[in-house]
A and B are shown apart, each in its own frame.
Chain A
Amino acid sequence: MPKSGRDGGAPKDSKYDLSKISARVDRVNVSGLLRTHNDYVMRAADGLFKANNFQDLMLEAMSTKSYLHELGIFKDVSVHIDVSRGTDASPQGYEVTFKGNEMSRMMGSAGTEIGQNEGSLRTELTIPNILGRGESISLQGSYSSTRANDLQLKFWKPFFHTRFKENRPEMSFSIFRQTDRYDISSFKSTNLGYLVDFSAHTMVGVDLTHSLQYENSIRDVGLLNKSVPFGIREHCGPKLASLLRYSVVYDNRDGNVFPTRGVFLKSVNEYCGLGGNVAYTSSTAHGELNVPLFAGLVAQFCGRVGVVKETKNTTQLPINSLFYCGGPLTLRGFKFGGAGPVIDGTPIGAQTFWCTGAHLWAPLPFAGVFKNLASHFRMHFFYNIGNSNSFSTENMRSAFGMGLAVKLAERARIELNYCVPVRRQNTDNILNGFQFGIGYEFV
């Protein structure tokens, strides 16, 4: 099926110009609905009925297929297009049938995750489409050698079948328990709470993905060893945080991991202090610009900036909301959190930070020989500049180097770089040599 879709999309290559063949969709069938309510897939056909030539019909059929996938009720969907028969069939009439195979009542998965110097086992149990309109529940747990067990129970409901179909609105509610270890500062934060999330797309001028969250959680700061500077010890104990988080994403890149062109912008803003006894505002912005050069080379410029500020009600800025600058995801050539302020020799997070990176990405030499495999690898040269608690370029930190990056499952990137720190401060923890990094968002 995808083949015919591609043919339709490139009419110049084919013998016949499909856009000149008129067509009209008489009927659209969606079969395979066992638990799902009919009205949930009703809007799938909206676009198909508007098609008036065969090429449009093909394209619409493909987008309907992906829409049906997005509804989260089918394991797989196949498309059948046939001329329509019967008494009320029109002359150029077609009948489109989507044969779906519903997901089973319960789905489980298990896998491993790699984090900062640790491995963890992740299991997930999902009950999709419980009430027949895409409502699902999932229970996710991860267990690791160094971390406490993380748990998340999530309920979500898409509203893709409403008249806001184009906006892809979705609501979710999750209860979570999660432990973040800040080994470098010798403390950990155990968060227990719930999160309500509403996300949608808007297409006014530019495509944006919005997400508005409300989180209410108990954040318990504990120490990881005995000799901890008093400035960190002062933060111990549980606190109740109640916060609103708004994030917006603009992404027109042609790939998530190794894009060749396009811009990615993301901004996350938090306001904490709607009740509870933690108060702060936090904003981070991340940007990425990719420019294709010649011979498969891509120039990439990244930047990230973050600010945590006190509000009127702040008595003490929470230590677990501060920013750590340094490490393979921000400033390469420094240890994680190694390019920030220290108290009594122990690094702690900074209230503000910025870092930028310039990359030159190149495909591997001889990439043509192993095309499939080589598409997962890239080489890069980078130059990182950044600083903590200061927006001036004096006393900033910088490093350069080169390395190899691997794509992992279209989302994550693994990097192995040789880094040379250029400018540093006396208290910094640098890493001159090979550095390993894994993550989703790099600078």
Chain B
Amino acid sequence: MTSQYLSQLHTADKLAAEPWPEDATLYQPYEAEQILLPENASCLAVKAYLKMCNLPFGIRSCANAEHMSPGGRMTKLPFIRAGAFIFAEFEPIVNFVEQKDLAIGNWQDEDEKADMRTYVSLVENIFTMAELYISFKNERVYKEVTAPRNGVVFPWPLNHMQNYGKRRNALRLLKVYQWDDLDIDSVIEKVAKCCETLEYKLKESPETPFFYGDQPCELDAIAFGHLFSILTTTLPNMALAQTVQKFKHLVEFCRFVDEKYFQTRCLPN
């Protein structure tokens, strides 16, 4: 498939050549009424990343954001429209920014970068799966939060059909990652382990605020997105938040990033 490769190269060239568009827009579901925990986490991660890169972008909330998205590996959200290009989810968006040489983390050497990518992938997989698990597999959370929120933009009976479809897709994804037959304790255990790894990484450079020294990188953005969402989302089952709360350094890290880039100050002391 030479032609495909060539066209990819061509696209990459074009991407690098053009400056960051002024009207770059991030599309996401309605935050107050609609968005679900896994989607909120990935949207927040992307927003944090773009803010860390100091790139201007607008945010548009629309009810059918997920259907407009060109698709992705997990939540399909958020997606960003920059000029003629549309990218969905954290990794493709990060790659897009990097091709423009606007990315943070250019100071890192190759080894450090590879190391960091491992952490990013670990954080994304573990937390997204845990969030999907709690949202769709926990009956109470599904009934009281996930289903009403996901269906809020659709009239009856379309909301039930959409909920059914969404849950089926989420369960299928959990099955692919072999999370479907876990019980809640094993999920907590996995999350705790991941937090432990992160906290250990954070403690490697105790006097600097970020994971890799003085400057933020992708890992800071994605870890903040997931941890902050888990900590600030009220669910009937707060097991995930309680687990994360045990790691004081991570909570402190979230408070710091929030203060620096968002100023929502909604983390409880």
Q: Which A residues lie at the B interface, using CB under 8 A?
A: 218, 221-222, 226, 230, 233-234, 236-240, 275-277
Residues of chain B contacted by A230 (CB below 8 angstroms): 81, 86
Q: B241 to nearest A CB, angstroms?
A: 31
Q: In the complex, A236 Cα to B70 Cα: how many Å?
A: 11
Q: List 24 A-B contacts (CB under 8 A).
A: A218-B158, A218-B161, A222-B67, A226-B70, A230-B81, A234-B62, A234-B64, A234-B68, A236-B67, A236-B68, A237-B63, A237-B64, A237-B66, A237-B67, A238-B67, A238-B154, A238-B161, A238-B162, A239-B158, A240-B154, A240-B155, A240-B158, A276-B155, A277-B154
For window 158-208 of chain B, which residues contact chain A by CB distance below 8 Å?
A: 158, 161-162
- Chain B contacts for A277, CB-based, 8 A: 154-155
Residues of A with C-beta under 8 A to B64: 234, 236-237
Give 13 A-B pairs besides A233-B68, A234-B64 with Cβ atoms closer than 8 angstroms. A218-B161, A226-B70, A230-B86, A233-B86, A236-B64, A236-B67, A236-B68, A237-B68, A239-B158, A240-B155, A275-B155, A276-B155, A277-B154
Question: Complex Cα distance A221/B64, Å?
Answer: 11
Per DSSP, chain B at the interface is mixed
Residue of B nearest to A278 (CB): B155
Q: How many residues of B contact A (CB 8 A)?
A: 14
A276: chain B residues at CB < 8 Å are 155
B86 to chain A, nearest CB (A): 8
A224 to chain B, nearest CB (A): 13
- 21-45 of chain B: CB within 8 A of chain A: none
Q: Nearest CB to that of A222 among chain B residues?
A: B67
Cβ contacts under 8 Å, B81 to chain A: 230
Contact with A along B64-88 (1 / 0, CB 8 A): 1011101000000000010000100
In angstroms, Cα B70 to Cα A238, docked, is: 16
User: What's the Cα separation between A288 and B254 when bound, in Å?
Assistant: 71
Chain B residues near A236 (CB, 8 Å)? 64, 67-68
Contacts of A238 in B (CB 8 A): 67, 154, 158, 161-162
A234 to B81, CA, bound (A): 12
- What are the residues of chain A within 8 A of B63 when measuring CB–CB? 237
CB distance from B216 to the nearest CB of A (A): 30
Residues of B within 8 A of A239 (CB): 158
Chain B residue with Cβ nearest A230: B81
Nearest CB to that of A233 among chain B residues? Answer: B68
Interface residues of B in 84-120 (CB under 8 A from A): 86
Give the residue name and chain of the B residue nearest to A234 (CB). Answer: B68
> How far is A240 from B160 in the complex, measured between Cα atoms in Å?
12
Bound-state Cα–Cα, A234 to B68, Å: 6
Q: Give the CA-CA distance A238 to B81 in the complex, in Å.
A: 22
Cα-based distance from A178 to B86 in the complex (angstroms): 29
Interchain CA distance A88-B143 in the complex, whole Å:
78
Closest-by-CB residue of A relative to B70 is A226
CA gap between A230 and B154 in the complex, in Å: 22
